[in-house]
Amino acid sequence: MREIAILGIGQTPIAEQWEKSLRQLAGEALAAAMADAHIDAPQVQALCVGNMLSGPLNRQENIGALIADWAGLRNIEASKIEAACGSGAAAFRAGLMAVASGEHDVVAVVGVEKMTETGSSSTTSGLASAADADWEAAQGLSFVAINALVMRRYMHEFGWKHDDFAPFSINAHANAAHNPNARLHESITMKDYSRARMVADPINLLDASPIGDGAAAILLCPADRLHSNGHPIITVAASASATDSIAVHDRFDPMTLAAAQLSAQKAYTQAGVSPEDIDLFELHDAFSIMAALSLEACGFAERGQGVRLGLDDQIGPRGKVPVATRGGLKARGHPVGATGVYQLVELIQQLRGEAGATQVPDAKIGLAQNIGGSGATVVTHILRRN
Amino acid sequence: MREIAILGIGQTPIAEQWEKSLRQLAGEALAAAMADAHIDAPQVQALCVGNMLSGPLNRQENIGALIADWAGLRNIEASKIEAACGSGAAAFRAGLMAVASGEHDVVAVVGVEKMTETGSSSTTSGLASAADADWEAAQGLSFVAINALVMRRYMHEFGWKHDDFAPFSINAHANAAHNPNARLHESITMKDYSRARMVADPINLLDASPIGDGAAAILLCPADRLHSNGHPIITVAASASATDSIAVHDRFDPMTLAAAQLSAQKAYTQAGVSPEDIDLFELHDAFSIMAALSLEACGFAERGQGVRLGLDDQIGPRGKVPVATRGGLKARGHPVGATGVYQLVELIQQLRGEAGATQVPDAKIGLAQNIGGSGATVVTHILRRN
């Protein structure tokens, strides 16, 4: 593909934002990205929106046109891309293709989700639509319950205790404490983790990421057309996507995220790098089990050994594989369809050297992986500081 | 963009298909397209799904991965593209970009919607999500009501009577009678039209398109890699998309489909043709008023004069501007997120000379235009027989 560069980034805080509508959240992130890029609305030629639940939760579809109009981009091409919790990175990838095809030069990507204002039961039922409606959700399995089954099996098969997963949550919360846009700012201790209220055994409250309302945006352009915008030059070194069965029971090996593995392998090949070259990894820690499985799928640990990186103190900003450096899904928060764009925005902050107290020293090559469903749709990106 | 050719097409009938799930409908259309293309599943590299309402109506998102798996395409890249009733053509356009960018060579596009099995009130509320949830739907306006206001204004402003719209419906029904996949097969008369039950004044039952369950699929590849598949070679001469405000009251001129006009102009320029060169026009006749406005926006009639083409008997298969040649939304049916792909499949049938009793003689260049919302998101394609 044509080499593509980052023109600008923007984000809103993740919180309960009842006073703001879906379009307002998206518009704020887009305005911030345009300001960061030093460009005006008329330069933007297309908009890709990542969102999962606007239909059931906000009773609003057609949000490509809706947000374009609100953001001052009336008449440009716009549509929504949906891949459950992987929608954000899928929209980013659609934006890349719009530029790579030569169809557009300046493309805006925005991930947005507004999910705290409806009753909690409809949010739970909305999230269950990321799973197989006929063979999982219809049996009464919520999305957290599906992940709980996977975590229980992982503990059984590889001999880990629940407490062994604690470092993922402790690290995420410690990092989020320094991220002004994070949903949660409280550091947690091992004791907090052990004593947290059970949600779906063995997943407790501190294994699970909080939902939230928020939007994050990125502006893209061909690398050869990037004008000086005052930021270090960040380019997209690789973009790859793969799928797996939605229902976990249909997989050849429920302990392997095959789509994560496949898309990561493709991305490493495209970028010409291997896991050892990655300076940080914004992974999809919707549940702590997913953090472990993602590390394994992306080649940072052997099958069943992902938790060891946490226990060995290797996942902090100065560790061997820094993850969730701005809080991750666990503490920055998980506004589902927006999450993939937040991950990329945070990765870009790290590569620019703008990550403050949790800056990974001299970060040059970063990986971001966004997952829709329990490993069903996976989109992997590698970004590089030139 | 890299020149792209049609490798194969497939479709299911549009009907109340309660015995088939969403994935089954999509899988049938994809299997038919693969058979038509003489290729097997392992050759397909990516899947773009056009769908609007799987979340609220089928409680299922993440349908890219779901359908890929069911169709024998596990592990390939897949996602859903949503632009209300324009989702189908938006997915086709995403497929074009996936090929044009060089990312993939063989891409499958499927439009699918399953919408008759839920209660009618939730379908109506689902369809209203194509309109502005805060400023239209929240006032109690259903989607048909919004179009009724537009039609009433059009009649008032340009002096047309309700009966003047009849030719659109009569032509659509006459053509659908010969389409085995159409939702409705009954021809109608002027008397039927005049006497039809009112839905939202002035839109009566024969002004409105019926919803339905169905799926249509298209396989794409670069034109220079098309192997002989026994069909005439059809290429994509133009693809363009534009948006407008979702809320009709926010438009500069509510009687002009600005996004339809803009995307059609871009498409004509890309293809190097003008309206006179178009042999047939698969337009978005969700309501008869939309047929009139589409003809005007695409340059076949002056502002306010679209209905005249019907009254002058110019819209039949042997007329000057054949429209709805396989029944259109009005009688072939309108499974909303699938419609744009049905339009393109039917256009390809015409260009191949496979349209049977309603074949447009020697059709070489065809236009298809798919509209999401009352003109908010519009995707226009021109296809050509080489």
Measured in whole angstroms, how far is the alpha carbon of residue A249 from the centre of its chain?
24
| DSSP 8-state symbol, B118 | S
For residue B119, the model assigns a pLDDT of: 64
Task: With a cut of 90, say whether residue A228 has pLDDT above it.
Answer: no
CB contact under 8 A, A242 and B77: yes
Per-residue pLDDT of chain B (386 residues; tens, 9 = 90+): 689 999 999 999 999 999 999 999 999 999 999 999 999 999 999 999 999 999 999 999 999 999 999 999 999 999 999 999 999 999 999 999 999 999 999 999 999 999 998 765 689 999 999 999 999 999 999 999 999 999 999 999 999 999 999 999 999 999 999 999 999 999 999 999 999 999 999 999 999 999 999 999 999 999 998 887 789 999 999 999 999 999 999 999 999 999 999 999 999 999 999 999 999 999 999 999 999 999 999 999 999 999 999 999 999 999 999 999 999 999 999 999 999 999 999 999 999 999 999 999 999 999 999 999 999 999 999 999 99
pLDDT at A121: 62
Q: What pLDDT does residue A111 have?
A: 98
- ipTM value > 0.95: yes
Listed by number, the residues of chain B in 245-264 with a beta carbon closer than 8 Å to a beta carbon of chain A are: 245-246, 250, 258-259, 262
pLDDT tens for each residue of A144-192: 999 999 999 999 999 999 999 999 999 999 999 999 999 999 999 999 9
* Four-residue CA torsion sign, B37, B42, B44, B50: positive
What residue type is assigned to position B146 of the chain? I
Is A48 considered catalytic here? no
Cα B313 to Cα B316: distance, rounded to the nearest angstrom:
7
Contact B126, B56 (CB under 8 A): yes
pLDDT of the residue at A240: 98
Instruction: Kindly report, residue by residue over A190-209, the tens digit of the pLDDT.
Output: 999 999 999 999 999 999 99
Token digits of residue B47: 């899947």
Q: B226 vs chain A: nearest CA distance in angstroms?
A: 19
Closest CA to A70 of A98, A45, A41, A93: A41
Residue A8 burial (C-beta neighbours within 10 Å; 0-12, 13-18, 19+): buried
Nearest CB to B65; choose among A64, A240, A377 = A377
Question: For position A304, what pLDDT does the model report?
Answer: 98
**Residue range A243-261: mean pLDDT, rounded:** 97
- Residues B299, A307: Cα–Cα separation, whole Å: 63
What pLDDT does residue B120 have? 59
Question: Which amino acid is present at A41?
Answer: A
Give the tokens for residue B93.
């356009």
Q: Quick check: B98 contacting A, CB < 8 Å? A: yes
Whether residues A68 and B243 touch (CB distance < 8 A) is answered with yes
Q: How far apart are CA B325 and CA B41, in angstroms?
A: 31
Q: Is A298 a known active-site residue?
A: no
Distance CA B386, CA B383 (A): 10
What tens digit of pLDDT does each residue of A344-363 get? Answer: 999 999 999 999 999 999 99
A313-325 pLDDT, tens digit per residue, is 999 999 999 999 9
Query: A226: which DSSP letter?
Result: P
Distance (Å) from the C-alpha of residue B353 to the closest C-alpha of chain A? 31
Number of residue pairs across A and B with CB atoms under 8 Å? 216
Report the mean per-residue pLDDT for chain A. Answer: 97
For an interface test with B, which of A22, A45, A69, A77 has the most B Cβ atoms less than 10 Å from its Cβ? A77
Nearest beta carbon to residue A65 from set B77, B94, B244: B244
Please tell me whether the peptide bond between B180 and the residue prior to it is cis, using omega within 30 degrees of 0: no
